[in-house]
Amino acid sequence: MEIIQSTFFALIASFAFLIVFEVRGKALLIGSIGGAISQLSLELGQLVEYFNFLVPYFFAALILTLYSEVMARVIKKPATVFLIGALFPLVPGTGIYQSMVYFVEGQQGAFFRELQQTLAITGTLAMGIMIVSVIFRNFRLRSFFKEEEQN
Amino acid sequence: MLKELETDIGAITDSAYNSVDCLDLGLWLGFGLMANGAETIRVEDSVGRILDAYNLKNAEVFAVSNYIHVSARSRSGKPISFGKRLHGSVSYNLDRVDRLNALARRITSDRPDPVQALEEVKTILDAPGYAFIVHALAVAISGFAFSLLLGSEIVPALWAMTSSFVMINILRPVKKYYSNPILINILGSILITLFAWPIKFTAYSSDHLLMMTASFMYFFPGIALINSTRDLMAGDYSAGLAKLIEVLLLAISVAVGSGATLALLSKIWPIA
C-alpha cells in the first residue's frame, strides 16, 4: 500500500515539475509516468535487504533512462523531456539538506558522512543515466536487430 | 588545392537557396535550442544536419554553453560565418526545445525555404509559456507532493505548498530585474527557510526537514545535471564540465542561503 501511495505522489510531483519546465501535451503525461516508474523501481529495489543502499538507485536510474530513451524514439521527442520528470523523485534532497544542517550545527563527522552518502547517490544516478545513454547513442539498436533478422 | 575548391563550389550550387539564409536559419535554431536548455551536443547535431541538408560545403558548427558559431562557404566559394552569444542565463523551456527539435527534423527531411523556416523558428521562440498562475500552482503542488512522497504528514505538506506558492510570487518581480540564477536561488532558499521555521514550534516539528527538502526541490538544477551528464558522455568535455560547475554553484547557493538563515534564526528565535 505504501509503495502504491509513494508511486502516486511521485507521479503528481513529476507532473508538477514538468509544468514548471513548460512541458506540454503527450510528453507531460509520459514524463509523469516516468517519475512514477522510477519511484516504483527504487522502492522495489529497496525491498531487497542484502543490496547495498546504492544498488536500488543504480537500477532505478537504468530503468528511468531506458524508459526515457525508448519513449524519445517512440514519440520523437528529446529524451531530456522524459528524463527530467523521471529523475526528480530519485534526487537525494533530504541528504543535501541534512548535510547542510549538520554543517551549520558544526557537526563535522555527521556532515561528512551525510555528504558522502549524498554524493554517492548522485554519482550512482549519473552513472546509471550515462550507461544507458551511451548504449543508445553508440549502438543503432534498430539497425542491429534488422541486420540480425536478415542474417 | 584549386581543384578541390572548384569541386566544393560545384557541390555548393546544388541547393537552390541562398547560403546566407541557410546559415542564418541554422544559427537561430541552434541559438533557440541553446537558450532554452538543450544539451550542447543536440545543438551542434541539429544545426550540423540542417546545414548538411542544404548542401552547404565545409559547414561547421561549434557551440558551448552560451555561444554558437556557424560557418560554411558561400555559393561563390567565399567563407561566411556567424556567431551568437547568449547574454544572461538559460531559461529552461522544454516545450520550445521539443518544437525546435521537431522543426530541425522536418527541415532536414523536407528542405523548406530557409526564410520561411526562420520565421517558424522565431514564432516558436516568441510563443508564450504557461500563465504565471499555472507555473506558481505547479511549484506549490510539487512542494506538496514531494513532502508527502518523503513521508511527511498532510499539514506540513500543505505548509510546504503555501510556502512555495508565496516564495514564487515574491521571486517573480525579482526575476524580472535580476536573472542571475545564483542570486535567485539564495533569495528563494532564504524565503523558504523563513517560512518553514515556525513549524518547528508545532506538533509537526519532526517533519520540518521533509517539508524544507520538498520546497527546495524547485531549485535543484536537474536539467543542468542531465545535460552535463549527456554532454560528458558524448565526449564534449568543455560543455559538460561547464554545466557541472553550474550544477555545483546552484546547489551551493541554496545551501548558503538556507544555512545562513538557519544559523541566524536559531540565534534570534531559538527552539525552546
Rounded to whole angstroms, the Cα distance separating A131 from B238 reads 20
pLDDT of residue B272: 60
The partner residues of B81 in beta bridges, in order of sequence, read B71
Range of the domain at A81: 2-142
B48-77 per-position pLDDT tens digit? 999 988 888 888 999 988 899 999 887 778
Between positions 120 and 149 of A, the ones with CB within 8 A of B are 122, 126, 129-130, 133-134, 137
In which band, very low, low, confident or very high, does the pLDDT at B8 lie, cut at 50, 70 and 90?
A: very low
The confidence score (pLDDT) of residue B9 equals: 44
Other CB atoms closer than 10 Å to residue B249's CB: what's the count? 14
Q: Is the pLDDT of residue B271 over 80?
A: no
The one-letter amino acid code at A71 reads M
Q: Rounded to a whole number, what is the distance in Å from the CA of A117 to chain B's nearest CA?
A: 16
Is there a domain that residue A136 lies in?
Answer: yes
Please check whether residue A100 is in contact with residue A118, taking contact to mean a CB–CB distance below 8 angstroms.
Answer: no
Q: What is the pLDDT confidence band of residue B223, given thresholds at 50, 70 and 90?
A: confident
pLDDT band for A140, please (50, 70, 90 cuts).
low
How much is the average pLDDT of B79-98?
88
pTM: 0.84
Cβ separation of A101 and B227 shorter than 8 Å? Answer: no
pLDDT band per the 50, 70, 90 thresholds, residue A149 = low
In A21-107, alpha helices (H): 25-47, 54-74, 79-87, 93-105
Strand positions, DSSP E, chain B: 60-64, 67-73, 79-85
- Confidence category of residue A150, pLDDT binned at 50, 70, 90: low
Asked if residue A149 belongs to a domain, the reply is no
Q: Please report the pLDDT score of residue B165 as a whole number.
A: 95
Decide if B259 and A103 are in contact by the 8 Å CB cutoff: yes
Please tell me which of the candidates B141, B220, B232 has its beta carbon nearest to residue A12.
B141
Min distance A149 CA to chain B CA atoms (Å) = 27
Q: With an 8 Å Cβ cutoff, are B94 and A78 in contact?
A: yes
CB B145 within 8 A of CB A13: yes
Q: What is the mean pLDDT of residues A16-33?
A: 92
For chain B, give every domain's residue range.
2-126, 132-268
Mutate to test the interface with B, among A30, A73, A80 (most CBs of B within 10 A): A80
A53 has a chain B CB within 8 A of its CB: no
Residues of A in contact with B136 (CB under 8 A): none
Tell how many helices (H) and how many strands (E) occur in chain B: 11, 3
Query: Which residue in chain B is spatially nearest to A17 when comparing CA positions?
Result: B142
d(CA B157, CA A141): 44
- CA within 13 Å, CB half, A142: 5
Give pLDDT tens digits for B189-215: 999 999 998 888 888 888 888 888 888
Confidence of residue A76 (pLDDT cuts 50, 70, 90): confident
The answer to whether the CB atoms of A81 and B97 lie below 8 A apart is yes
DSSP string, A64-81: HHHHHHHHHHHTT--HHH
Domain assignment of residue A150, yes or no = no
A147 found inside a domain = no
Q: How many domains does chain A have?
A: 1
Cell of B106: 522536418
ipTM over 0.95: no
What is the pLDDT confidence band of residue B37, given thresholds at 50, 70 and 90?
Answer: confident
What is the average pLDDT value for chain B, to the nearest integer? 86
Question: Looking at the partner chain, which of A15, A20, A101 has a beta carbon nearest the beta carbon of B139?
Answer: A20
Q: Choose among A23, A39, A91: nearest Cβ to B222.
A: A91
Angle between helices A25-47 and A79-87 (to 10 degrees): 40
- Nearest beta carbon to residue B95 from set A23, A98, A129: A23
Nearest-neighbour CA in chain B from A55: distance (Å): 19
DSSP single-letter state for residue B218: G
Model pLDDT, residue A53: 86
- Would you tell me the crossing angle of helices A93-105 and B132-150 to the nearest 10 degrees? 80
A97 → chain B, closest CA residue: B213
Q: How many CA atoms lie within 13 A of B270 on its CB side?
A: 2
Residue B131, number of CB atoms within 10 A of its CB: 9
| Residue A15, pLDDT above cutoff 70 | yes
Contact (Cβ atoms closer than 8 angstroms) between residue B90 and residue B36: yes
- pLDDT reported for residue B7: 45
Please report the pLDDT score of residue A143 as a whole number.
55
Among A12-16, B57-61, B234-238, the minimum mean pLDDT is found in: B234-238
For residue B10, pLDDT beyond 80? no
B222 touches chain A (CB under 8 A): yes
What does the DSSP 8-state code read for residue B82?
A: E
Q: What is the pLDDT of residue B12?
A: 45
pLDDT range class, residue A147, cuts 50, 70, 90:
low
pLDDT tops 90 at residue A142:
no
Contact A72, A82 (CB under 8 A): yes
User: What region, left, alpha or beta, does residue B180 occupy, with left being phi > 0 and alpha being psi -120 to 50 degrees?
Assistant: beta
Beta carbons of A13 and B145 less than 8 Å apart: yes
Q: What is the mean pLDDT of residues B216-224?
A: 84
B20-24, long-range: CB within 8 Å, 24+ apart, which pairs?
A: B20/B74, B20/B80, B21/B114, B21/B115, B21/B118, B22/B50, B22/B51, B22/B54, B22/B56, B22/B72, B22/B114, B23/B51, B23/B56, B23/B59, B23/B70, B23/B71, B23/B72, B23/B80, B23/B81, B23/B82, B24/B82, B24/B114, B24/B118
